[in-house]
Structure 1
Amino acid sequence: MPAIVTNKFRIHNAKQFVEAFDEVSATSGDAVADPTGLLTTNMYLFIGKVTPWADDTQPPTPTDSVSNTVYNHWRDMIAAKRIGSADVSHVVPRYNWTSGQNYFAYTHANNTLFDQTFYTITADYNVYKCLANNNAGGTSTTVPSGTGTSFIQTGDAYKWKFMYQISAARALKFVTPSYMP
């Protein structure tokens, strides 16, 4: 049966995933009660399997079945860490501002927008969205700066909108060479 998984649905699921790390329930279940009597959901990241498989180049294929589940991952677990909502973040591909780069102008009507470079991060961890790219589609040569609420026009005729700044703490925790919050 065909299905359409929209971007709106994907975004909703991503938000629900992050919210799940600190959900609280007043009903019973497999959760731990806090001093208020409410139950909290606990999620953990674990590592294990310190012994080799028979063929390390082809580990066993995981099965998606509830009738024949083998709990080897429980037996092989050697360490776990509780993960809270402060330990997770939504991320997007990281595009460092680069002189000579052509940035695409943002438009909500573009279905392929997320395949294009329409935002950038600067050296001071400010994130900007490109609103106009000098009408001729030329390259950007002036780094955007400023944190005001109105658009920023740079010397190369690009128009930018300041979106947010990534704090030093969030940068240390979530910024990688390929992704940023």
Structure 2
Amino acid sequence: MSSVILFNKPFGVLSQFTPEAGHPALDQFGFPPGIYAAGRLDHDSEGALLLTDDGKLIKRLLDPKFEHPRTYLAQVEGKITKEAVQKLMQGVTFKGYRSKPCTAEIATEPEWLWPRNPPVRFRANIPTSWVRLTLIEGKNRQVRHMTAAVGFPTLRLIRTRIGNVELGDLQPGQWRAVTEKIL
């Protein structure tokens, strides 16, 4: 029987078991032996990360042809517009790549949101806003590239859902066994 774990990856932690370049890694969170990250989140992103000992599941989650959905909340610099959200939904071009259409909507800062350490830089004369995106692809730093392409750089990025598995009330550094169907 394979095991699947949902982990709320804290800001600054690498999605690997070996620390590198001064960043802590997954080895410090007490996971059962033999599991591996099924995908990744950059060290400066937070939220849902799946870990498993099921190689076939990892392959399926990482293979772009399966187009499994991943939902993100992004805090962006500036007051995001409906026009920018529309562009995100249609797909944008970054680094010579055109993103697939996605779902996107203006969001509010969630009540359940934990403080980030270190906090997002605050600038009195530049407001921030939130956008929720659900993508079916996972290029390197894609959400950050997409929001920047429409004029709203990402300041904070939290993955809240992978397939059918939602982060829920897991706090940074906490994990639980996944019992629900993932895809």
Instruction: Report TM bin, short chain.
Output: under 0.3
More strand by share: 2
Instruction: Tell me which structure has the larger Cα radius of gyration.
Output: 1
TM-score (norm 1): 0.23
